[in-house]
Amino acid sequence: MPDLAALELLVAVARTGSLGAAGRELGMTQQAASARIRSMETRTGVALVQRSPRGSTLTDHGALVAEWGSAVLDAAHRVDAGLAGIRGESRDHLTVVASQTIAEQLLPRWLVSSRAAAVRAGVTPPEVTLTASNSDGAVDAVRGGRAALGFVEAPDVPSDVRSRVVAHDDLVLVVAPSHPWAGSGVTVDAATLARTPLVSREAGSGTRLFLDAALRAATGPDRAPVAPAAEMPTASGVRAAVAADAGPAVISRLAVSDDLAMGRLVLVPTTGLDLSRPLRAIWLGGAAPPAGPARDLVDHIGRGTHNADR
């Protein structure tokens, strides 16, 4: 197949009637235009131009290839215009999906800070559409192309999804003030926690996935799962259920900081359990996030002091 530049030259010869005129139209010398046509003839094995002392004209086969080439060039121009539109759209708009703790506690601060940095640099900030989900839902949205960038709390991400750690968070054990564990000096070990029904997020949430992995690491992979005392679809639902003494919960420190400060919930120390977790950005494609707003946001988070309190 000839390349697009060679096809463009051949179509110009058909339109202008001579190789010299086509070369001038495309900003080429006649010698350069002639050399490109010869290369095209060698590559295709077809005589395209009839050369004579009076000039160069297309052969019958050359005229046919020029007709086909014109259609190819039209299609290529449509593709190029479409890509330009996509690039402009992706530069002006960013779709983000995040697991709920990140969406509620961290992303608003990250987005405000990123927007301010863009304004200071004289760059128009993109419009951001943010959707909250659990970690499994965030992975599905990125895989399905419904979001260019995701943020998850899960301990692992699938191998077909790229990721980068952008912050850290701690999970903490909390109970209602009336719960027996709220007494001074109480510490709960991993084995006790593993056999206690907890107020929990739904299956697929990053917090629940991380806690299950941490308990298996501390008590053994054969640990029999314990049915939750209650399942809630949001962190606020977990907090409300714990405050109503439905049971203990392990939840992000970020999500319960106000409840702890106001005495609505009580933090219970744990032993033998690592509850520090990484928070990840996820995307599809190359080793770095897609160029444009997605990469800009991830890089901005990485440059700042945006880690959750540890």
- State the Cα–Cα distance between residues 253 and 262, nearest whole angstrom: 14
pLDDT digits (tens, 9 = 90+) for 277-296: 989 999 988 778 888 899 99
Average pLDDT over residues 297-303: 91
pLDDT for 160 equals 84
CA 210 to chain centre: 21
CB 228 within 8 A of CB 250: no
Burial of 226 (C-beta count, 10 Å sphere; 0-12/13-18/19+): middle
pLDDT by residue (tens digit) across 88-129? 556 788 999 999 889 999 999 999 999 999 999 888 899 999
- DSSP per-residue string spanning 4-35: HHHHHHHHHHHHHSSHHHHHHHTT--HHHHHH
In the prediction, which pLDDT does 47 show? 92
Give the model's pLDDT for residue 81.
63
Nearest to 124 by CA among 292, 295, 305, 287: 292
Taking the C-alpha atoms of residue 294 and residue 291, their distance in angstroms, rounded to an integer, is: 7
CA 129 – CA 96 distance, rounded (Å): 6
Helix, strand or coil, per DSSP, at residue 143: helix
Which residues does 76 contact at the CB level (< 8 Å), separation at least 6?
4
Amino acid type, 267: L
How many Cα atoms are found within 13 Å in the side-chain-facing hemisphere of 307?
A: 11
More confident residue, 214 or 25: 214
Instruction: Give percent above pLDDT 70 in the chain.
Output: 94
146/224: higher pLDDT: 146
Q: Quote the pLDDT of residue 248.
A: 97
Cα gap 122→59, rounded to integer Å: 55
Residue 308 has what pLDDT?
42
Copy the structure tokens of residue 144.
């399905």
What does the pLDDT read at residue 263?
94
Contact 211, 135 (CB under 8 A): no
Q: What is the mean pLDDT of the chain?
A: 87
Q: Answer for the pair 168, 280: CB distance below 8 angstroms, yes or no.
A: no
Q: What SS3 state is found at 134?
A: coil
For the chain, the maximum distance between any two Cα atoms, rounded to a whole number of angstroms, is 105
Predicted pLDDT of residue 286: 78
* Per-residue pLDDT at 287: 76
pLDDT given for residue 85 in this prediction? 58
Q: What is the pLDDT of residue 157?
A: 83
Measured CA to CA in angstroms, residue 141 lies from 49, 94, 156 at distances of 53, 13, 16
Higher-scoring residue by pLDDT: 305, 104: 104
Residue 310: per-residue pLDDT: 33
Residue with tokens 């094995």: 45
Residue 87 pLDDT grade (very low, low, confident, very high; cuts 50, 70, 90): low
